[in-house]
């Protein structure tokens, strides 16, 4: 934030030109004028209303003009003189709190606690404005922004003791390859490739477990074809031939990674393990995976369909083991191979598939489509988790969705018509791809870095929410209306995946408006989706086969908890939006359960540990605000006379002026205006993306400010 010569700065930094105490220098009129000009803060940015009316603005939030006229004060207009400064809170806010504290200095201990919480915010705001902004690898952190709590979390991460695995992980970054920096190391022993392959019975069991349990919506393989590859591999070892004979590197790598994912998932489903047992199980799956990775690294010749499939399934293993950066770069490689093969384009009779002069093979043609859309879905979610742009552009894609045909009903010549086709496993893949398209539009339109008015973003969010509702209505019964617990396990996992994707998409589209006045429908949509997500995540946590089915479960949990904590803080700092306190309490209780699930899942996954550190800061602030609101409501109940016990406590909120007046003029004025300061007061649209990616920002002490140089934020 651009610093301005304010009177606050003179209280913190000694002025070398000031006369010593006790000596008052003689001043002339010119000197007095110069001094007054120095004290007069330079306003570099006016609010949107004052700018439109071309009147003088004091540059605070809210400014005096808007506060006097009881108007909403915004700073959304385009700023063309560098990075826009964050408007400081109005001094009237601090004056309100000072008077409020004075008037209630003899209240009960609960009231004293409330005053400490609310008075804490203006003090932090003053200290933050006096601190310089910090720069993090070309990403700036403004001490007055709504992400101050992230700085506190990063500070804690950087100062972990030497016994912390997370600290060792951060310190080891300087010795890791760029494509793996910050990722947990692989637990492998040097072994010959032939020795990595397990016994034939074990290999077949792992393959069956993969197709029956591990695959949910990312169905890019034809099962019978892959089972044929496995028999060739086992036969090669029995005949003492090279393990890749008649298969090639990519197909062999696919088989090895299938076994790696199956071994990993089995280990997780087996239940609670000590860290040593967990590392032992990871060593087995890592052994399979790294052997396959070496094969793809040495792949020669022109790219093939299996070249993409091998890299995509490696990405999925890396994501499930929290090797996030390696997954990002591996996916980039797979992305380029899909483009080189033209997988993003529709094939027709004029463009022979897959190569000119080759006979058409229906299974290969469908696997091309399946594989591309799996890559598209992964790209969408990686962009959200990392807060980075998508690689695929919708305007370049005209590929068809795959046919709704199960593997057993596919022949090289075409699909075979079954008398009783039943439900198709490919439905979930197609529907997941369609909602990924909508989510991509949300990221592009609602979170656009362009200088768009908030009304345009709001209109886009409402239009895309309508698309999401239509998507949900289009689901077949076994994925939508039927209770998942009544389905067979494979369809149950798909139904859960569809619900989780839907709730997350609604949250993603509406959460930027949590701090906006007037966006009632969007706020209600977001909070309801958060509640549904918490209920679903709690049910999933009770079933390990579901909880570990999706690599992005922990991210969704982090995203939902952040929304709940932000909304909890919002309830205290602004006017209530008509939410029932009992409903809010239930949501907060569900959030506490999910918070516990995430903490328990943080033993070996580095990003979960970081998620926990970040959520700790938001959660503590939410709890303070919740305690403050409950204390204030108790105070209101004690001061409001003539109100009978008709459930009015839950309805009072902060919106009934006739009741609030009995609490004292300053308190009533403070609450009616919604001016209680918040750590999230200046949260911007782009800050939500920053929050998403905060668990993956590098914490190298050579590129970031040291903990001792962090801005003072109490």
Q: Does pTM top 0.85 for this prediction?
A: no
Query: Rounded to whole angstroms, how far apart are CA atoms 111 and 103?
Result: 11
- Single out the residue of 154, 333, 315, 71 nearest to residue 704, CA to CA: 154
Label residue 334 by pLDDT band (50, 70, 90). Answer: very high
- Burial (0-12, 13-18, 19+ Cβ within 10 Å), 157: buried
Q: Please report the pLDDT score of residue 700 as a whole number.
A: 47
Q: Is the peptide bond before 62 cis (omega within 30 degrees of 0)?
A: yes
Q: What is the mean pLDDT of the chain?
A: 76
Query: Rounded to whole angstroms, how far apart are CA atoms 491 and 482?
Result: 11
Q: Please report the pLDDT score of residue 639 as a whole number.
A: 60
Q: Please report the pLDDT score of residue 114 as a whole number.
A: 35
pLDDT digit string (tens) for 504-547? 999 999 999 988 877 889 999 999 999 999 999 999 988 877 87
pLDDT digit string (tens) for 674-692? 333 445 655 677 778 888 8
Which residue has 């768009």 as its token pair? 452
Label residue 197 by pLDDT band (50, 70, 90). Answer: very high
Contact 608, 557 (CB under 8 A): no
Among 5-9, 483-487, 627-631, the least confident range: 5-9
Residue 118 Cα distances to 339, 365, 565, 614, angstroms: 55, 63, 17, 22
Q: Please report the pLDDT score of residue 180 as a whole number.
A: 86
Q: Please report the pLDDT score of residue 97 as a whole number.
A: 45
Q: What is the CA radius of gyration of the chain?
A: 29
Q: Please report the pLDDT score of residue 415 as a whole number.
A: 92
More confident: 389 or 359: 389
Contact 377, 436 (CB under 8 A): yes
Label residue 5 by pLDDT band (50, 70, 90). Answer: very low
- Give the pLDDT mean for 41-52: 80
pLDDT digit string (tens) for 398-429? 999 999 999 999 999 999 876 666 689 999 99
Determine the length of the chain: 714
* Secondary structure of residue 135 in the 3-state scheme: strand
H or E element, residue 575: none
- Give the pLDDT mean for 606-613: 74
pLDDT digit string (tens) for 18-34? 444 444 444 445 554 45
Label residue 638 by pLDDT band (50, 70, 90). Answer: low
Residue 109 tokens read as 């201990």
Residue 147 Cα distances to 153, 235, 609, 674, angstroms: 10, 58, 19, 21
pLDDT digit string (tens) for 338-350? 999 999 999 764 4
Among 59-73, 143-157, 358-372, the least confident range: 143-157
pLDDT at 74 over 90: no
Label residue 41 by pLDDT band (50, 70, 90). Answer: low
pLDDT at 498 over 80: yes
* Secondary structure of residue 89 in the 3-state scheme: strand
* Secondary structure of residue 176 in the 3-state scheme: coil
Q: Exposed e or buried b for every residue in 576-609, given b needs 16+ CB within 10 A? A: bbebebeebeebbebbeebbebbeebbebbbbbb
Residue 654 Cα distances to 180, 570, 575, 664, 669, angstroms: 50, 12, 6, 14, 11
Residue 12 Cα distances to 6, 9, 88, 120, angstroms: 11, 5, 17, 19
Q: Please report the pLDDT score of residue 95 as a whole number.
A: 52
Residue 688 tokens read as 């939500």
User: Up-side HSE of residue 107: CA atoms within 13 Å toward CB?
Assistant: 22
Q: By percentage, how much of the chain surpasses pLDDT 70?
A: 66
Query: Rounded to whole angstroms, how far apart are CA atoms 209 and 203?
Result: 10
Residue 687 tokens read as 């800050």
pLDDT digit string (tens) for 282-330? 889 999 999 999 999 999 999 999 999 999 999 999 999 989 999 999 9
């Amino acid at each position: 934030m651009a610093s301005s010569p304010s009177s606050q700065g003179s209280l913190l930094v000694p002025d070398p030109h000031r006369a010593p105490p006790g000596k008052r220098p003689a001043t002339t009129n010119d000197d007095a004028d110069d001094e007054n000009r120095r004290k007069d803060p330079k306003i570099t940015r006016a609010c949107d209303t004052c700018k439109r009316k071309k009147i003088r603005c004091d540059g605070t939030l809210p400014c005096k003009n808007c506060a006097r006229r009881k108007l909403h004060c915004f700073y959304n207009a385009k700023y063309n003189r560098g990075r826009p400064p964050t408007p400081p809170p109005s001094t009237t806010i601090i004056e309100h709190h000072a008077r409020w504290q004075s008037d209630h200095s003899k209240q009960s201990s609960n009231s004293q606690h409330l005053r400490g919480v609310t008075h804490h915010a203006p003090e932090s705001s003053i200290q933050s404005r006096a601190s310089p902004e910090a720069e993090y690898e070309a990403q700036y952190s403004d001490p007055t922004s709504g992400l101050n709590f992230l700085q506190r979390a990063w500070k804690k991460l950087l100062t972990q003791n030497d016994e912390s695995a997370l600290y060792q992980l951060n310190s080891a970054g300087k010795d890791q390859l760029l494509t793996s920096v910050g990722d947990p190391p692989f637990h492998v022993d040097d072994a010959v490739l032939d020795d990595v392959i397990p016994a034939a019975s074990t290999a077949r069991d792992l393959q069956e477990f993969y197709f029956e349990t591990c695959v949910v919506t990312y169905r890019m393989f034809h099962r019978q074809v892959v089972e044929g590859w496995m028999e060739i591999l086992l036969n090669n070892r029995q005949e003492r031939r090279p393990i890749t004979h008649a298969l090639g590197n990519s197909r062999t790598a696919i088989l090895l990674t299938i076994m790696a994912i199956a071994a990993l998932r089995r280990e997780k489903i087996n239940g609670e393990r000590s860290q040593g047992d967990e590392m032992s199980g990871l060593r087995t799956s890592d052994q399979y995976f790294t052997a396959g990775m070496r094969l793809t690294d040495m792949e020669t010749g022109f790219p093939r369909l299996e070249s993409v499939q091998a890299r995509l399934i490696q990405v999925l293993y890396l994501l499930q083991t929290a090797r996030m950066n390696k997954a990002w770069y591996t996916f980039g490689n797979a992305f380029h191979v899909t483009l080189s093969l033209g997988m993003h384009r529709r094939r027709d009779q004029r463009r022979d598939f897959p190569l000119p002069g080759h006979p058409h093979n229906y299974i290969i043609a469908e696997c091309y489509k399946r594989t591309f859309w799996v890559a598209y879905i992964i790209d969408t979610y990686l962009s959200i988790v990392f807060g980075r742009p998508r690689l695929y552009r919708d305007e370049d894609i005209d590929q068809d969705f795959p046919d709704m045909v199960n593997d057993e009903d596919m022949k090289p010549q075409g699909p075979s018509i079954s008398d009783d086709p039943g439900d198709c496993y490919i439905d979930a893949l197609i529907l997941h791809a369609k909602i990924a398209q909508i989510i991509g539009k949300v990221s592009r339109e609602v979170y656009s870095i362009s200088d768009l008015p908030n009304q345009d973003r709001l209109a886009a969010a409402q239009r895309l929410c309508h698309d999401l509702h239509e998507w949900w209505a289009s689901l077949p019964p076994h994925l939508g209306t039927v209770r998942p617990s009544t389905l067979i396990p494979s369809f149950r996992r798909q139904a859960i995946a569809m619900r989780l994707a839907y709730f997350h998409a609604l949250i993603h589209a509406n959460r930027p408006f949590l701090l906006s006045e007037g966006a009632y429908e969007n706020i209600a949509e977001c909070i309801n989706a958060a509640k549904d997500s918490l209920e679903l995540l709690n049910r999933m946590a009770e079933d390990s086969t579901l909880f570990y089915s999706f690599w992005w479960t922990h991210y969704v949990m982090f995203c939902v908890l952040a929304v709940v904590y932000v909304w909890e803080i919002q309830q205290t700092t602004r006017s209530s939006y008509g939410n029932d306190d009992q409903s809010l309490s239930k949501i907060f209780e569900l959030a506490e359960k999910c918070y516990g699930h995430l903490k328990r899942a943080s033993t070996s996954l580095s990003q979960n540990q970081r998620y926990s550190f970040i959520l700790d800061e938001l959660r503590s602030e939410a709890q303070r605000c919740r305690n403050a609101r409950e204390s204030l409501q108790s105070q209101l109940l004690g001061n409001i006379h003539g109100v009978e016990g008709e459930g009015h406590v839950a309805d009072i909120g902060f919106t009934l002026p006739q009741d609030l007046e009995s609490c004292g003029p300053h308190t009533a004025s403070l609450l009616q205006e919604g001016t209680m300061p918040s750590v999230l007061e200046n949260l911007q649209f782009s800050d939500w993306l920053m929050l998403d990616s905060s668990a993956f920002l590098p914490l190298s002490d050579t590129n970031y400010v040291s903990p001792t140089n962090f801005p003072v934020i109490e």
